[in-house]
Structure 1
Amino acid sequence: MFGAAAAAWHVGGQLLQPHQITMRPPPEDFAVQSVAFDSESGDRLAGWFHQGEPGRGVVVLAHGIRTHRGSSLARARLFGEHGLSSLLFDLRCHGESTGERVTLGWQERHDIRAAVDWAKHRCTGEPVAVVGYSLGGAAAALAAPLEVDAVVLEAVFPTIEAAVGNRTSGKLGIAGPLASWALLAQLEPRTGIAPSDLRPVDAVRRLTCPVMVVGGGRDQQTTPADTRRMFQAAPEPKELVWFDDLGHRNFARWAPEKYRREVVSFVTDCLSRAAADQDARTPAEPSR
């Protein structure tokens, strides 16, 4: 029993460990500017900014756990084809951003807000969208309400209990529920964060812009039932998109044509409408 408890404590600690690396140079065929900005989490965040066509809008791209901004390149390229600018950044404790402990979306929600603020400052007056995958999407939901014009949530867990339960059951079978309990019991003592704080399914209700929820039909980490639960909780207007043949994968990389057709089109349409609305509200210059 002691050995099992010690093993669970070790695994729990590993899950919260930073995943910081020195990034490789950005690809030569996709021009970006290296940027850095501060988050209310207390961390310094690193990122890349890709300049699109001025006035078209900017997309904030947030990656999943234990990866970095480089995993958002496939998305940024597809949005760039439509003239959109993009901010690819490392969440705290990932890539080249600072941080001492991953908090599964709780402190990372401040990173989303900081990235949105940076994008609005860099692209003043332009519409803004947030696209978050897995941890990045959970952080985006937990950051609500956000003053943005569209949000895309890809493979986002509805509750931390579901996220941990799916992963332990997938690896340990009938021992999964006990392992899940052992891991969740560590969360508050280690981080000061209660499981009730990590409920994107509740937070998503506070979004005030169009929402797209994206799921993988074969995803065992964020199951189709989890994705439907997130979609049902999201406010209108909303859309649901399935990548039927994919699991917990980078949808833009594994199915770029469908991603372009569904997700990119949704974001570009939302930002185009937001830009048109902004133009309609802007008083015309008096004639001379």
Structure 2
Amino acid sequence: MKKKTAMGLMAPLFVAAGTMGAAEKLYKFAFHRVDEVPETSAEKQKYADQYYHYVNWLKTQPTRNWKIEAFDRPLKLSATYIPAAEETTDTVIVAHGYKGNGETMANYANMFHELGFNVLLPDDRAHGHSSGEYISFGWLDRLDYQNWIQRVIQETGVDARIVLFGVSMGGATMEMLSGEPLPEQVRCIIADCGYSNIDDEMSYLLKKTFHLPKYPFLPAVSAINIYRQGFNLKKVSSVNQLRHNYRPILFIHGEKDAYVPLNMVEANFDATRGPKEKWIVKNATHAESFWIDPADYRDHVARFIQRNLTYRLQ
């Protein structure tokens, strides 16, 4: 066989090997657990003093550590439970963002605690004190949260009233959880800057961050994930899950969010079937809505919960 012909036949193999090599690096970057929370973006460094004020507050609280098993594999999941100052059966379950943990949600924990709620701050699989090697971007976590809900009911009783709250990946996690069977104790949901689906989100970030096209890289990353975690990334969709949601939901999104584009909240808002509200926060970037004006954020959240805490599915 002539050398030129052989090279021509080998070329697709070199391309495929190069694609899979790049996909493996992308997968490691995006999906592998990290044991230290990455530094926040430069635009949010101005909130550092406020952030650590809330973290220090959390460390002074009489918290309890809870453990459960993951729904599908032998993983130990960890959460911090903060009982309300006065005994109550009302609890907010708070889902953190990508490569964060429960502690990074201390500002929201403080807000809900001041509103009189018990607060549960889980560490998702592959985050914080929970075990796990790979991040599932909320897809597997949504079913772990079903177990956390049952743990809250076990703690506070059948009269429990539960609010689901999440930011960024946590917002998408709660949106995806909304489409699953949930007990009547779950009354309403608040999702701050959650993505519509991981396929569009990763395609957007591939182009924005790495200047790479969706094809062939995202299908290759998905193939790796099917092998490692057992699901195709195309399944990871807030929109599809919200089509099965009939509970009240408040969507919050920053007007200038360049990480999860504004059109994603529109898709999520259109998809849900229950009572819904939308608050676009002027001039806020990704996950900045609270920090722009904490008092205004608290007021919006408190009013929504007050209207919907007694809601029951018919």
Is the pair's TM-score, using the shorter chain for normalization, greater than 0.5? yes
CA distance in 1, matches of 2:227, 2:146: 26
Alignment counterpart, residue 171 of structure 2, candidates 137, 159, 172: 137
Out of 162, 187, 204, the position equivalent to 1:128 is 162
Residue from 93, 96, 105 that aligns with 1:60: 93
**What corresponds to 2:40 in structure 1?**
none
Give the C-alpha shift of residue 9 in structure 1.
1.6
Q: Return the TM-score normalized by structure 1.
A: 0.85
For 1:189-224, what per-residue CA distance to the aligned partner results, in whole angstroms no more than 9, with x for missing partners?
A: 443211332111010122232111111111122111
TM-score, normalization: structure 2? 0.78
Which has the larger displacement, 59-68 or 255-264?
A: 255-264
* Residue 204 (structure 2) pairs with residue 166 (structure 1): yes
1:195 is matched with 233
In the alignment, structure 1 residue 46 sits paired with structure 2 residue 61: no
Contiguous gaps of at least 5 residues in structure 2 = 1-14, 38-54
Contact 2:142 2:176 in 1 (8 A): yes
Taking the aligned partners of 2:298 and 2:57, their CA distance within structure 1 comes to 22
- Cα distance, 1:102 vs. partner? 1.6
Question: Larger Cα Rg: Structure 1 or Structure 2?
Answer: 2
**Do the aligned partners of 1:60 and 1:87 also contact (CA within 8 Å) in 2?**
yes
Q: Give how far 1:129 is off.
A: 0.7
Distance in structure 2 (CA, Å) of the matches to 1:250 and 1:118: 30
Match of 2:257 among 202, 213, 219: 219
| Alignment gaps of 5+ in structure 1 | 278-288
Which residue identity is paired with 1:87? L
Return the alpha-carbon distance in structure 2 between the equivalents of residues 163 and 16 of structure 1.
14
Amino acid at match of 1:107: L
Where do residues 67-86 of structure 1 align in structure 2 (5 Å cutoff)? 67-86=100-119
Q: CA separation of 1:180/1:243 partners in 2, compared to 1, >3 Å: closer, same or farther?
A: farther
Q: Which residue of 2 aligns with 1:177?
A: 214
Distance in 1 (alpha carbons) for counterparts of 2:24 and 2:135: 15
* Structure 1, 255-264 or 123-132: larger mean CA deviation: 255-264
CA deviation vs aligned residue, 1:83-129 (integer Å, no higher than 9, x gap): 11110110111100111222222211122111111111111112101
Secondary structure of residue in 1 paired with 2:286: coil
1:207 maps onto 2:245 in alignment = yes
Residue 60 of structure 1 aligns to a residue in which SS?
A: strand
User: Given the alignment, which residue of 117, 134, 139 partners 1:101?
Assistant: 134
The question of 1:146 aligning with 2:182 is answered: yes
Q: Residues of 2 paired with 1:151 and 1:47: CA distance?
A: 19
Q: How far did residue 139 of structure 1 move?
A: 2.4
- Give the secondary-structure state (helix, strand or coil) at the position aligned to 1:260: helix
Counterparts of 1:104 and 1:196, CA distance in 2: 12
Contact 2:246 2:272 in 1 (8 A): no
State how far apart, in whole Å, the 1-side matches of 2:76 and 2:57 are.
19
Write the deviation string for residues 231-264 of structure 1: whole angstroms up to 9, x where unpaired: 1101221111112212222533453122102123
Q: Identity, % of aligned pairs?
A: 21
2:190 alignment partner AA: V
Spell out, residue by residue over 1:143-201, the C-alpha distance to the aligned partner (whole angstroms, 9 max, x if none): 3232310111121111111110121121134x343454553454334432113321110
1:233 pairs with 2:283: no
Distance 1:76 1:27, change over 3 A: closer
User: Which string of whole-angstrom CA distances, capped at 9 and with x for unpartnered residues, describes residues 15-73 of structure 1?
Assistant: 11123459x99734433222222231332211111111333610000101111001111
Secondary structure of the equivalent of 2:258? coil
Name the Cα RMSD after superposition: 2.4
Equivalent residue of 1:232, what SS?
helix
DSSP 3-state at the match of 1:206? coil
Q: How many residues align?
A: 272
Cα 1:228–1:235 change in 2 (3 A) is: same
Alignment correspondent of 1:10: 25
